[in-house]
A = this chain, B = another copy of it.
Amino acid sequence: MSSAPLPPAFLQALAEGFPEDFLTREPAELAEYGRDWTRVHTPAPAAVAFPRTTQEVSRLLALASAHRVAVVPSGGRTGLAGGAVAARGELVLSLQRMNRLGEVDLLGNTCRVQAGAITEAVHQHCAQHGLTWPVDFASKGSSQVGGNIATNAGGVKVISYGLTRQWVLGLQVVLASGEVLELNGALEKNNTGTDLRQLFIGSEGTLGVITEATLKLAPLPGPQSVFLFAVPDVAAVLRLFREARRAPLTLSAYEFFTDRCLARVQRHRKLRSPFEAPSGCYVLLEAEGSDPDAVETWLGSLFERGLVTDGTLAQGAQQAQELWSLREAISESLAATGLPHKNDISLPVARLEAFCGELESVFAQRYPGWEICLFGHIGDGNLHVNVMKPEDMDKAEFLAHTKQADPTMFELVRKHAGSISAEHGVGLLKKPYLGYSRSPGELALLRTLKRALDPLGILNPGKVVDVG
């Protein structure tokens, strides 16, 4: 696939076989639909197509195959790895017009939706029935279900609900050839050979285009208790995690952040810490419906045993929201108070402490004065590592340094059997580093799958892995 213009015969076939508003080549739209939330690559798609039906997607891909046109499937484009970027003259296939929400099935707790449905719209649709699709994160107001599934999206509720993969019963997928597959329907159990859904979940549009999904729904959670704890260091965060998992409560979130994150949140958002004395690390713990007496006893024992240095339990919804704000404002505050270089990595939970210690010491040695802001879904082993540009350093110099620093960190990730992308995916940004988390044998198998499913290489080419 090159960045050659779209073949005239392909454009003619589209003009003849599809509605007038099917395609746009208007520059502002090309710029908009050619990029995601990353701002690294300059968007340069050749055109954007807006199908309304699976049948249109199918006919479009059959034509793209016939004319060897590279296609970038496109959801809400809230990705952070460049998976939906079209920078090489591709055709963007936007699912946004396919946003129908089916009836909620109250017997099976399922709902069939089209891929372009907005995540938050699905939440609202299901909440009327006391149900939810428990895939939840900051970008839910614009992210789409198809993109959530294609990237196996994570978020703040993974510790209790798991990743998106667990909340997809059925998938309708269009292959590169245009063939439409209906996979698994609304079945909980179906052991009839390899589960083909799993090929497409998390494949970032490189193996097929997701057009519809039957979502598995969960009951809306009951009232939650929100705690904030102060602890001295990462080791203490993990000791508390172990206690919390055995406590008389059901964890629904276990988030952590360091004092550096909090300081920037306070600077930017003027939020107050609930604690008088600062501490090295903070833990936000959310838990569902538990026996208040047992919880109080447990809380007391945390102080007695020196597991926390301070702690507070939110009284009411407003205070709970205030505590959550401290965590949720971090990304925004880092960006507002400096230039962060971001990585989203994961480690086996048991390796987190050693990893964090080595990371700090390697960076302190090689890059003295650099500020590392650590936060994340530590209960899942997921760390967001943000390195802040030193104030007196030029931006270009900083970026050159981070390009060198990333492999240093990924080397540590590999040493501790972690992943260079916990939930953000690979896309374009992490592709050069995939070998830190995947062996040559795995990379070969990923290429084998790509060749088997998309032999002409028209689906999101150049993303995740390059196929020779």
Q: Which residues of A contact B (CB under 8 A)?
A: 105-110, 130, 151-152, 154, 158, 162-163, 165-166, 175, 179-183, 185-196, 198-199, 201-204, 207, 219, 238, 241-242, 245-246, 346-350, 377, 380-382, 417-426, 430, 434, 437-439, 441-442, 445-446, 448-449, 451-453, 464-465
Contacts and interface: CB of A to CB of B under 8 A. Distances in A.
Contact of A108 (B105, B349, B438): B349
Contact of A422 (B151, B158, B189): B189
Contacts of A185: 348, 417
B192 A420 contact: yes
Given A158-B189, A181-B442, 7 more contacts: A107-B238, A108-B350, A186-B348, A190-B421, A192-B438, A193-B426, A195-B198
A32 to B, nearest CB: 25
Given A193-B465, A195-B202, A453-B448, A418 B187 contact: yes
A199 B437 CA distance: 18
B192 A203 contact: no
A417 B214 CA distance: 13
A130 B423 contact: no
29 contacts: A105-B349, A130-B246, A151-B191, A152-B195, A163-B189, A181-B442, A187-B381, A187-B419, A187-B422, A188-B349, A189-B419, A190-B346, A190-B422, A191-B202, A191-B419, A191-B424, A191-B426, A192-B420, A192-B430, A192-B434, A193-B204, A193-B434, A193-B446, A194-B198, A194-B207, A194-B449, A196-B442, A199-B199, A449-B449
A442 B183 contact: yes
A182 B183 CA distance: 27
A380 B446 CA distance: 32
A202 B193 contact: yes
A183 B202 CA distance: 15
A195 B201 contact: yes
A273 B399 CA distance: 74
A350 B170 CA distance: 14
A384 to B, nearest CB: 12
Contacts of A381: 108, 187-189
A464 B193 contact: yes
B106 A445 contact: no
A245 B109 contact: yes
Contact of A199 (B158, B194, B201): B194
Contacts of A130: 246
B421 A187 contact: no
A426 B348 contact: no
A461 to B, nearest CB: 14
A187 B418 CA distance: 7
Contacts of A439: 181-182
A181 B441 contact: yes
